[in-house]
Amino acid sequence: MFEVESPVNLALGLLTGIAFGFLLQKGRVAKYQTILGQLLLKDWTTFKIMITAIITGSVGVYLLVERGAATLDFWPFQPAAMLIGALLFGAGLAVLGYCPGTGMAGAGEGSRDAMVGVLGMITGAAVLVVAYNVLEPVALALGDWGKVTVPEMLGSSPWTIIAALALAVGVMLALLARYESGQSRAHVGWTF
Amino acid sequence: MSNPFTMKSWSPRVVGFGIGVLSWFAFATANSHLAITLQYEHIAAMAQMILAPDAAATNRYYAVRAQAGLEPKIDWYLMLLVGVFIGALLSSRLSGDRSCISVPPLWRWRFGESTAKRFAAAFAGGALMVLGARIAGGCTSGHGISGTLQLAVQSWTFIVLAFSAAVATAFLLFGKGGRNYV
């Protein structure tokens, strides 16, 4: 009834997923505590993981694409879908306390509320499928601008953007490290 | 030096670097990227095809997704989702960092000890979150990591706005006092 991909591809997917879940758990982002700590702007673990992953991934993936070893694959710019989707996503995330990937990882770690959250997530996805004919015109109310990247929009080379991004990530990591060492000094009550 | 696999946590930079390298691996070996919520959608779509074939027949969803090459199937992505569960299970078993939490401390401080209340909110929050993700075409993984690393406009605008909305909601729910419980 459904197309099934080759066993090799399925095995690669499983292997990649196991590594991903392993990393999320070791990064402590499969925990409600860490996600809400980030959203209340106290614990910057999630942010640090994300910006490091983005810049690392960006360099390698653009190199692969330039060598013809991979193709870019991302969602087109649909402003209404982006706006509505982001607001619902953000509100839901703060209530649940796990994002879709870390919720699955949280369930793997054993958290009961994450397991219930995953059931809710499948239900939310089902709403999209069942109500698709109604939701599609709303999502496309501000048009579909096609698969556009930031460098394409600015008319620059992707490497210019990646270099700027690398600089920004470096500065943010350094600032966070400084902020956190200040925090821990305050915590143990050191004086200057 | 202790075995890294039995450590309870790794530094955020090591984990971030690892996820970045894992993205290279996904692109290089399967021309795919780390993503989560498309699979939840596919699970729901396959359920509709089995349980309500008449409704599926008039649902534009299938034609639109097929045109984008994103039709529901048993594929790399679905196995990725299964793998995330197994990977986290494995990691937490190796380090003994297991959780059986139902009501996290911050939630308990603000909304009380009721497990039913926490589960109802978790279910509703999860549903709202993934409905939003599927309208916008991705989540913290698909947009927040994979789309942003490809420098996609949809992904960068989504993740900035979604994060802002999540921070605002968290402060509305818990206020600054919540910081003492995370």
The whole model's pTM is what? Answer: 0.95
Query: What pLDDT is stored for residue A184 in this prediction?
Result: 72
**pLDDT tens, position by position, A84-134:** 999 999 999 999 999 999 999 999 999 999 999 999 999 999 999 999 999
Residue length, chain A? Answer: 192
pLDDT at B73: 95
A61 interfaces chain B, CB cutoff of 8 Å: yes
Contacts of B40 in chain A (CB under 8 A): 100, 121-122, 124-125
User: Cβ of A170 under 8 Å from any chain B Cβ?
Assistant: no
**For a pLDDT cut of 70, what percent of chain A falls above it?**
96
Specify whether the CB–CB gap between A93 and A30 falls below 8 A.
no
Chain B residues whose beta carbon lies within 8 Å of the beta carbon of residue A11:
79
Q: Return d(Cα B176, Cα A39) in angstroms, integer.
A: 11
Whether the CB of A17 is below 8 Å from some CB of chain B: the reply is yes
* Whether the complex's predicted ipTM surpasses the cut of 0.90: yes
**Tokens representing B91?**
């990691």
3-state secondary structure B146-168: HHHHCCEHHHHHHHHHHHHHHHH
Closest residue, chain A, to B69 (C-alpha): A73
Q: Count CA within 13 A, CB hemisphere, residue A152.
A: 12
Helical H segments across chain A, by residue range: 7-26, 32-39, 45-66, 79-96, 100-109, 112-130, 132-139, 150-154, 158-188
Q: Among A95, A107, A132, whose Cβ lies nearest the Cβ of B85?
A: A107
- Which of A3, A15, A20 to mutate to probe the B interface, most B CBs <10 Å? A20
Q: What angle do CA A190, A34, A108 make, to 5 degrees?
A: 140
Contact A104 B88 (CB under 8 A): yes
B118 and A113: CB-CB below 8 Å? Answer: yes
B171 lies within 8 A of chain A by CB: yes
Name the residue among A15, A61, A108 with its Cβ closest to that of B27.
A61
DSSP states of B30-81 as a string?
HS-----HHHHHHHHHHHHHHH-HHHHHT-THHHHHHHTT----BSHHHHHH
By the 8 A CB rule, do B9 and A26 touch? Answer: yes
Measure CA of the first residue to CA of the last residue in chain A; give whole Å.
70
Q: Are A30 and B9 in contact (CB under 8 A)?
A: no
Chain-chain contact of A83 with B75 (C-beta, under 8 angstroms): no
If you average pLDDT over every residue of chain A, what do you get? Answer: 95
Q: Locate A100 and state its tokens.
A: 């879709």
Interchain contact, B30 vs A113, CB within 8 Å: no
Q: Which of B128, B167, B169 to substitute to test the interface with A, most A CBs within 10 Å?
A: B128
Q: Which residues contact A145 (CB under 8 A, 6 or more apart)?
A: A76, A77, A78, A79, B153
Q: A135-158 burial, b for 16+ CB within 10 Å, e for fewer?
A: bbeebeeeeeeebebbbeeeeeeb
pLDDT in tens, A145-160: 999 999 999 999 999 9
CB B92 within 8 A of CB A109: yes
A:79-98 residues touching chain B, CB 8 A cutoff: 79, 81-98
